[in-house]
Structures are given as structure tokens and as C-alpha cells.
A and B are shown apart, each in its own frame.
Chain A
Amino acid sequence: MKLLNKTISNMKTTIEERDGNLVAVFEGRLDTLAASEIEKELQKLNDCEGRDIMLDCAAMDYISSSGLRLFLSILKNAKSKGSHVYITGCNDNLRQIFTMTGFIKLFEFK
């Protein structure tokens, strides 16, 4: 796979600490290009001992399998450290994709 700096994705990710928990806010389209761009940023969620993780999807309108793969990596890491991962604010379209892929049973939804 080759990456050139000619197009950037339509995605913004912010990671912040809120009430002692880690919150990742996704805005826009989490397509394959966006997933490749934010993978590094999301590693900030790796050190989550003693904290829960919220994946705020209220402003996200699309997720590809590479985005799902990132979510699953976050979950696997968090579970191994005893942390919970919550998906918040996802719209009906996204919920269909989470259902279709069985993610609805893996994550806790708020």
C-alpha cells in the first residue's frame, strides 16, 4: 500500500480526558483513508488502566471495515486492562453496520 500526501480524508479525531475517562470524538467519515491517518493518534488510548474509553460517534456518519478494525483493536487492548469501551451517540445507519458485523454485542452502547 502506498500513501501520497495529495488528498486528506474528511475526518477529524480528538482525544480528550473527561471525568477521568478517555474520550475519542470522531467527526466525519471514517473511511479506509481516514483510518490509516488516525491509527497512530488512537494509540493514545492504549494506556487506559483504571479508566474507561468512550468512542463518541455522534458526529460520525460512516465507518468502513478498517474503521471497525481500529475499534476492535481499542476494545481488545482495553479489555485486557480491565477497562470498558462505550460507543456513544451513533446514528441508525451506523448502528446497522455495527449490528451486521456483530459489533453490537462486543461493545457497550450508550
Chain B
Amino acid sequence: MSNILEIARQQVLEEGRGLNEEQVLEVLQLPDSEIENALALAHEVRMKWCGPEVEVEGIVSIKTGGCPEDCHFCSQSGRFETPVRATKIDIPSLVEAAKETAASGATEFCIVAAVRGPDQRLMDQVSDAIDAITEAVDINIACSLGILTVEQADYLDAKGVHRYNHNLETARSHFPEVVTTHTWEERRETLELVRERGMEVCCGCLIGMGETIEQRAELAGQLAEVEPDEVPMNFLDPRPGTPFADYEVIDATDALRTIAAFRLALPRTILRFAGGRELTLGDLGAKQGILGGMNAIIVGNYLTTLGREPQEDFDLLDELAMPIKEFSNSI
């Protein structure tokens, strides 16, 4: 076993202290022959510090497309000519989606909007949605509505939103190559607002946007500084019409190496398989990821693309004897 994995065994597994940026880089530089060992150690870390349960979440877009921002990976930006047409979902449909999500075994339902930040009209819609879902379904409600003001963060907290998502997406040094209409720092500020109000912090990343492995290590270090409750790990699915449309999907081996490295950087965090895993990892990779540090999944579809059949994931978790986190345990 490599030296960095021996260090990680003591530091992360035994002491619960995540690897720092330099150490993460060493994991990302491991040869292919060491990946199995890295994944096995990441799995041990996850089992020790998080336990065997897997958290299941469904996500839905309340406002799709027409976003004023220019996130270069995103088919919902109104600045690019993509196949996505702007639309909104009505509250009854949203409640139905929450019911179906809960019926699948999920404990989390995240309401997402393609916006820079919510205006009052969207806040009102989200407020109505939260009321309607809460009345009809036993499920935790999370939101992802972009950059928040202090007042909006206060309001969502008071409405009972228990987790708020705002992704850093990529390393600070790479962010200007990905987004030019707002800054990495603005995203970071919203995360602080969320934490200060007591909502759980969900802060994800998108791997495969042309970043170097040094920048992947930088991102892991920056995520660790946020101390997020959850990190959704997305892998780029190059979307037609976006500036990243012709990027290559990252290699499955690199994706698995990154999963292991991020688990070793974030021993206690919910690490969620999110968008792009089907394309990047396929069925075998999904299993390797769940046995390599992941302890949460997005069930079913994503915001604009389709995911695996939910039963495939549940069969996999059953096969691996990994229980699904129950609603009563997650509040």
C-alpha cells in the first residue's frame, strides 16, 4: 500500500481527520494499481464515521431554463442555445413528485430553481410549495435557489427548510473559467448565511470541467473548509449547446480515484452520487463508488436529464446490505 494510504489509515480512519489539499493531491496521483486500495480505505472511513446507511434524495426543478447566469456546463443558461425550453412546474405536480419520491424510500426532496437568486415571486412559489408538500408528505425539504440575501435565508430557515444547496462546483482558481456572471466568493457567502441560520449546508462539485488534478485537490480542501453536511459529487455530462458541449466525459478510473480522495478529505460528510454518474461510471462504477466512500444517492432523474431506474439503485443497495436512511432518523 502506498505511503499516503498508510498515512490516511491512521489520520482519517483512526483519528477522523480529513486529508489536507496536499495529501488529497497525493491520492489523486496514485497509480491505477492503487485505486482498489484507496476505494477500500475510503469505504472503511465511510463505514466508521458515517455508518452503513445510505441517504436517498429526489430533486426537481421548480423553474427550468432561462437562467441569466453563464455557468458553462449548464443547459439551463439562457445565454446558450441549448435544447432546454424555459418552464415552471405547478404546485400540485410538485406535491405529486414529492409523494412519489417519498414512496420510493427517499427522505430528502430538493426544490431547485435555475436562477441567480430568488426574486419575491419565486420565494412566494417556494413558500407555497413547502406548505403543500409538508401537509401531504413526510419528507425533508431542501432548497437550491442560488445566491440568497440575509432576509431570504432567514425566511427559508423559518419555513423549515432543513438543508440548502449551493454548489461551489469547482476550485476557486478554476471558477472564472466556468462562470463569469458571479463569483466563487458570492457562492461561499451564501453558504455562510445558510450555516449561520442553522440550516444544513449542502455544497457540491462538478468534476471534469477542464480542471487540473491540482485544482481537484484544491477543491477538496475548499469544500472541507466549508464543513458541509453534504457534498453532491457531479461528473460533467457535456450538454449540447453549452460551451462545454465538446468536453470529454472523464475516465471512470479518474472518477473513482476522485471519489476515494474526496471521502478521505471529508470523512464525516454525506457524499452523494449526483449527476453524470451513469455516463461516467455505468452500473459497475456505481457499485464501486458505493463501496468506495459514497453514502448517498439521487434517486431517479436529475433536473434536465434522466438517471438510473430507481429499482436498480435499490437492488444494488440491497445486494450490498446497505440500509436506506429512514425519515424518522433524519430529522
| A and B associate in one complex | no
